[in-house]
Chain A
Amino acid sequence: MTHWTYLPFLLVWALPVIVMQWMVGGRLLWHERGKWIWIAPGLCIYFTLADVVAINTGIWHFDTASLAGLWLGPVPIEEVIFYLLTATMLVQGFVITWRGKK
């Protein structure tokens, strides 16, 4: 299988789920947006700060040749997007399930 770089591999993995969530529960997500919209960005900031610790203490590291080359301190931009997208998938998934038909 072809060796992908981090960003396209991440986007191809996460974006279809987010698009599908909006196709299935878009009306509900929009109606409730005031309640949940800040949660994923908040979690993204929190996990990015935690990631600084993980990278600086050598828990995990990245192949720099597979990165776009944009960094927030020691954290590659792909990692920030990863936290934003995973939190978005989880939060939206719960909102749709919880606020959907009981």
Chain B
Amino acid sequence: MTYEGFLLLFLLLPLGILVVHLRKRLLDRRYLIVVGILTLVALMYMAPWDHFAATWGLWSWTNNRTWGLRWWAIPPEEYLFCVLEALLAITLTFAVLTRKDAQSNLSFFTSSDSVSLSDTSVSKGDERANQEPES
């Protein structure tokens, strides 16, 4: 397996599943700003540390498992790992912290009828589509 394949399988895939599951909940301006800033801070804090470790030989990467490029002493995939790890951890935390809010919004919306949903990520628009028309 290459580093690229590792990123696709272990980071991008679960992140994609999480994004699809959360859908419209992620279209929150405050979330997008916070995730952008924290990811940038994580990247800037990780890069020099990783660079020194690689320079000292604490760890290294097999050339034919990476794209072969080095920014400082680090392959670009390592920066992507940092970014994707940050996105995954933050988005998962966002999902957990806002779960109750989403549930209460949903229960408020469905309180006038007996519709019950277990998927807390369903948006109001999707919920409307699931309801049967009143006669």
In the assembled complex, 26 residue pairs joining A and B whose CB atoms fall closer than 8 Å, in A order, are A1-B52, A4-B56, A9-B49, A9-B53, A13-B49, A32-B97, A36-B93, A39-B89, A40-B89, A43-B89, A53-B6, A53-B10, A59-B2, A59-B6, A59-B61, A60-B3, A61-B60, A63-B60, A89-B42, A90-B38, A93-B38, A93-B41, A94-B38, A95-B97, A98-B93, A102-B30
In the complex, are the beta carbons of B89 and A87 less than 8 A apart? yes
Extra 14 A-B pairs, beta carbons < 8 Å, given A54-B6, A90-B86: A36-B93, A39-B96, A43-B89, A50-B6, A57-B1, A57-B6, A59-B1, A59-B2, A62-B59, A66-B57, A93-B38, A93-B41, A95-B97, A97-B38
Q: Which residues of A contact B (CB under 8 A)?
A: 1, 3-6, 9, 13, 17, 32, 35-36, 39-40, 43, 47, 50, 53-54, 57-63, 66, 86-87, 89-91, 93-95, 97-99, 102
Complex CA gap A24/B24 in Å reads 31
Complex CA gap A91/B34 in Å reads 12
In the complex, are the beta carbons of A58 and B62 less than 8 A apart? yes
Instruction: Tell whether B79 is near chain A: CB-to-CB under 8 Å.
Output: no
Q: Mark B41-71, 1 if CB is under 8 A from A, else 0.
A: 1100110010011001111111001100000
In the complex, are the beta carbons of A58 and B59 less than 8 A apart? no
Question: Which residues of chain B from 71 to 99 have any CB-CB distance to chain A below 8 Å in the complex?
Answer: 85-86, 88-90, 92-94, 96-97
The residue from A17, A89, A98 contacting B34, defined by CB atoms under 8 A apart: A98
Decide if the interface of chain B is mainly helix, strand, loop or mixed: helix
In the complex, are the beta carbons of B90 and A94 less than 8 A apart? yes
Q: Closest Cβ of chain B: how far from A47's Cβ, in Å?
A: 7
With an 8 Å Cβ cutoff, the count of chain B residues facing the other chain is 37
Decide if the interface of chain A is mainly helix, strand, loop or mixed: helix
Shortest Cβ distance from B38 into A: residue? A93
Shortest Cβ distance from B53 into A: residue? A9
